[in-house]
A = this chain, B = another copy of it.
Amino acid sequence: MLMAALVSGIYADGVTLELTLSAILTQLLGILCMFYTRGHKKEVKRKEGYIIVTLGWIVMSASGVLPYLLSGAIPDFTNAFFETISGYTTTGASILDDIEVLPKGILFWRSLTHWIGGMGIIVLAIAILPLLGIGGMQLFSAEAPGPNADKLHPRITDTAKRLWLIYVGYTAAETLFLSLAGMSFFDAINHSMATLSTGGFSTKNASLAHWNNQPLIQYIVIFFMFLAGSNFVLSYFAFKGKVQRILQDEEFKFYAGFILLFVAMTAVVIYYNANVEISEFHPMPFGAAESSFRHGLFQVIAVITTTGFVTADFTAWTSFLTVFFFGLMFIGGSAGSTAGGIKVMRHILIIKNGLLEFKRTLHPSAIIPVRFNGKTVSEHIVYNVIAFFVLYMLLFIIGALVLSAMGLDFITAVGGAASSLGNVGPAFGDLNPVSNFNGLPDLGKWWCGFLMLAGRLELFTVLILFNPYFWKRI
A322, B390: Cβ atoms closer than 8 Å: no
Complexed CA–CA distance, A33 and B410 (Å): 50
Stretch at the interface among A92-100, A202-210, A289-297, A394-402: A394-402
Nearest CB to that of A47 among chain B residues? Answer: B362
16 A-B pairs (CB sep. < 8 Å):
A133-B361, A133-B364, A319-B407, A320-B401, A320-B407, A322-B410, A323-B403, A327-B401, A330-B397, A354-B387, A354-B391, A354-B394, A358-B463, A360-B384, A361-B464, A364-B380
What 4 A-B pairs have minimum CB-CB distances, sorted nearest first?
A: A323-B404, A357-B387, A320-B405, A320-B404
Contact B397 A327 (CB under 8 A): yes
Contact A324 B404 (CB under 8 A): yes
Chain B hits for A391, CB < 8 A: 354, 357
A9 to chain B minimum Cβ distance, whole angstroms, is 47
Q: Which residue of chain B is the closest to A322 with respect to CB atoms?
A: B410
Contacts of A470 in B (CB 8 A): 358, 362
Residues of B close to A359: CB separation below 8 A: 469
Contact A410–B319 (Cβ < 8 Å): yes
CB distance from A465 to the nearest CB of B (A): 10
Question: CA–CA, A463 to B411, complex, Å?
Answer: 30
CA distance A352 to B391 in the complex (A): 11
Interface size class of A (residues with CB under 8 A): 35 or more
Give the residue name and chain of the B residue nearest to A132 (CB): B361
CB distance from A419 to the nearest CB of B (A): 14
Contact B404 A383 (CB under 8 A): no
Chain B residues near A410 (CB-CB < 8 A): 319, 322-323, 326, 410-411, 428
Residues of chain B within 8 A of A132, CB atoms compared: 361
Q: Which residue of B lies closest to A473 (CB)?
A: B362
Given known pairs A319-B408, A362-B464, A410-B326, the reply for A393 and B393 (CB within 8 Å) is: yes
- Among residues of B, the one whose C-beta sits closest to the C-beta of A404 is B323
Is the C-beta of A372 less than 8 angstroms from some C-beta in chain B? no
A358: contacting residue among B360, B408, B467, CB under 8 A: B467
Asked if residues B358 and A401 are in contact (CB atoms below 8 Å), the reply is: no
* Bound CA span A390–B133, Å: 22
- Tell me if A282 counts as interface (CB < 8 A to partner B): no
From residue A377, how far is it (CB to closest CB) to chain B in Å? 13
Residues from 32 to 89 in A contacting B, C-beta threshold 8 Å: 46-47
The distance in angstroms between the C-alpha atoms of A172 and B26, with both chains bound, is: 75
Interface: A386 (CB within 8 A) = yes
A404 to B327, CA, bound (A): 12
Minimum distance in angstroms from A262 CB to a CB of chain B: 11
Known: A46-B362, A390-B389. A467 touches B319 (CB 8 A): no
Please determine whether B134 and A361 come into contact, CB atoms closer than 8 angstroms. Answer: yes
- A201 at the B interface (CB under 8 A): no
Within the assembled complex, what's the spacing in Å between the Cα atoms of A386 and B364? 16
> Once bound together, how far apart are the Cα atoms of A323 and B418, in whole Å?
13
Report Cα–Cα, A390/B393, bound state, in Å: 10
Residues on the B chain within 8 Å of A134, using CB = 361
The residue in chain B whose Cβ has the minimal distance to the Cβ of A356 is B387
A278-316 interface (Cβ within 8 A of B): none
A256 lies within 8 A of chain B by Cβ: no
* Interface residue? A460 (CB, 8 A): yes
| Interface residues as binary, A430-472 with B (CB distance below 8 Å gives 1, 0 otherwise) | 0000000000000000000000000000001001100101100
Digitize A345-385: 1 where CB-to-B-CB distance is under 8 Å, 0 elsewhere: 00000110111011111101000000000000001100110
